Amino acid sequence: MAYIDDDQTQKANRTFIRHAMNEKLLGREEEQDLARRWRDHQDQRALHILINAYTRLVVAAATKFRHYGLPVSDLIQEGNIGLLQAANRFEPDRDIRFSTYAAWWIKAAMQDYVLRNWSIVRTGTTAAQKSLFFNLRRLRAKIKDIQTEKGLTSEGREKISKLLGVTVREVEDMEGRMNGGDQSLNITLSDDSEDEVQNFLADHRPNPEEIVIGMKDAQSRSKWLAQALGTLTDREQRIIRERHLNYESVTLEDLGKELGVSKERVRQIEARAMEKLKDTLVHTMKTPQDFFALSA
């Protein structure tokens, strides 16, 4: 559902739009001169003229994004930020008009605003999700015979996935996001019930008892492993730690250089040490599976 501004805001929007459309258009040489004055001398007056001349681009972009149900005044403000970013980044010596360059930054700023505010849940984070969000609705309306009352057909999803270079699963996920609105977890199940939706959400996290048991199991495994490592020589311990127990594993070749042996020799020592560890653990525990068992 589209957002509707109050009368005062609508009046302010109309005034801004009227002023934007009445601003003088700039020629190529004039906009390049203004851009150089801003870039080289931080001429505020030059920036003011350059920005005002192209606020009409902001207005045009805002009208295209208003069907996402967000305030037009906010879209305009975001577009103005994009316009300022364009002015700060524009290189007048390049063979491109400022209006063309600014249009991209204005659109990008508005798209980011829409993605942040269209839903409480972040709608698009990857490039594929953003492309889907801003093109799915258009493609559904443009391509015939790809959807039913329940949504896109399987053929329709495949066709859109090929057009946008995304997977069918990504099309399905975005379709679900766009068809379902935000709902509060505090709403009641019905008018006659005081039970809220959140009361029936399953919590799959381990309970306190399971956490304590898991900590105890982890301590036991650490103790068994420390005892088993104690049966190895210093060189064997170092190889096992560097190869299997550190956050980042060291290659056989690098270890060989450090120890002054070939990488094949390191591999042999590692294999022998692993066998010794296995034998020690087997004799330490009643059942070897205890070491790998996880608390349910």
* Pair 163, 212 in one domain: no
Does one domain contain both 173 and 213? no
Write the CB contacts of 122 (distance below 8 Å, at least 6 apart in sequence): 115, 116
Phi, psi of 147 (to 5 degrees): -150, 160
Q: Which domain holds residue 89?
A: 7-117
Both tokens of 251, joined, read 């290659």
Tens of pLDDT, residue by residue over 82-92, are 999 999 999 98
What's the CA gap between 28 and 293, in Å, rounded? 72
Do residue 216 and residue 284 come from a single domain? yes
Query: For the domain that residue 248 is a member of, what is the CATH number?
Result: 1.10.10.10
As a whole number, the mean pLDDT across the chain is 81
218 occurs within a structural domain: yes
Please say which residue of 68, 98, 117 terminates a domain: 117
- What b/e sequence results for 147-166 when a residue is b if at least 16 CB atoms lie within 10 Å of its CB, and e otherwise? beeeebeeebbebbbeebeb
Q: Are residues 224 and 276 both part of a single domain?
A: yes
Mapping DSSP onto H, E and C, the string for 17-54 reads HHHHHHCCCCCHHHHHHHHHHHHHHCCHHHHHHHHHHC
pLDDT for 296 equals 38
pLDDT of residue 1 exceeding 70, the answer is no
The verdict on 131 and 230 lying in the same domain is: no
Is residue 185 in some structural domain? no
For the segment 10-20, what is each residue's pLDDT rounded down to a tens digit?
Answer: 888 888 889 88
Domain for residue 81, yes or no? yes
Residue 193 lies in a domain: no
**Number of separate domains in the chain:** 3
Residues 67 and 36 in one domain: yes
Q: What is the value of pTM for the model shown?
A: 0.54
Give 44-74 pLDDT, tens digit per residue. 999 999 999 999 999 999 998 888 888 888 9
Instruction: Say if residue 152 is in the same domain as residue 90.
Output: no
Report pLDDT for 168.
84
Q: Is residue 122 in a domain?
A: no
